[in-house]
Amino acid sequence: MRSARTFLTVVIIGLLIASAGAYAQEKERQKKVAASTQGAARYYLGSLGGTSEELLMNVNVWGFVLKPGQYMVPVKTDLVSLISYAGGPLEEASLKRVQLIRGTTKEGEPTVFTVNLQKYLEQGDRSLLPTLRPGDTVVIRAGRGYGFKRVLEYVWRIAVIVQAYALFSYYLKRS
């Protein structure tokens, strides 16, 4: 009886260690993101403090980039450069449906453009990139597989708990 409990304890501890290791990479990425965005997420790019007097504009980057936030960028900044300033897209990002939200129209509704950056990366055609304007907000959403991946992670966590319980029950009945 005592050896079965000892064995069961070792198995449960082993499962917990194994499950913790499975999330190490995700936790490391989250730490990097948190370290890079401590404090206010506001970034100034351009020749601030330098000799050049370059005009800057305020734009926002939301979603699946390394450093989302508000950026003060040179007026001639394009969409790809802005996303690069934000640390680039994350692995889960969908580059096929990047949204550019521009201020309100006369009817009071914002103008929303959908940009296929994947197509730009394949063709290199700069005409596919919209011109950024002051106050624009760029939203990079998750790819289609992201939700499925999250569900699988949740199911995997439940499976580990069920397996630990089954092992515990099995060895408890055997002893």
Q: Is the pTM of this model over 0.85?
A: no
Per-residue burial over 26-55, b = 16 or more CB atoms within 10 Å of its CB, e = otherwise: eeeeeeeeeeeeeeeeeeeebeeeeeeeee
Boundaries of every domain in the chain: 1-36+145-175, 41-143
Amino acid at residue number 161: I
| Range 76-102 average pLDDT | 93
Position 139 pLDDT exceeds 70:
yes
CATH class of the domain whose range is 41-143: alpha beta
Alpha carbon distance 28, 35 (integer Å): 11
Of the ranges 8-12, 23-27, 74-78, 119-123, which one carries the lowest mean pLDDT score?
A: 23-27
Q: What is the DSSP letter of 73?
A: E
Give the mean pLDDT of 100-110: 82
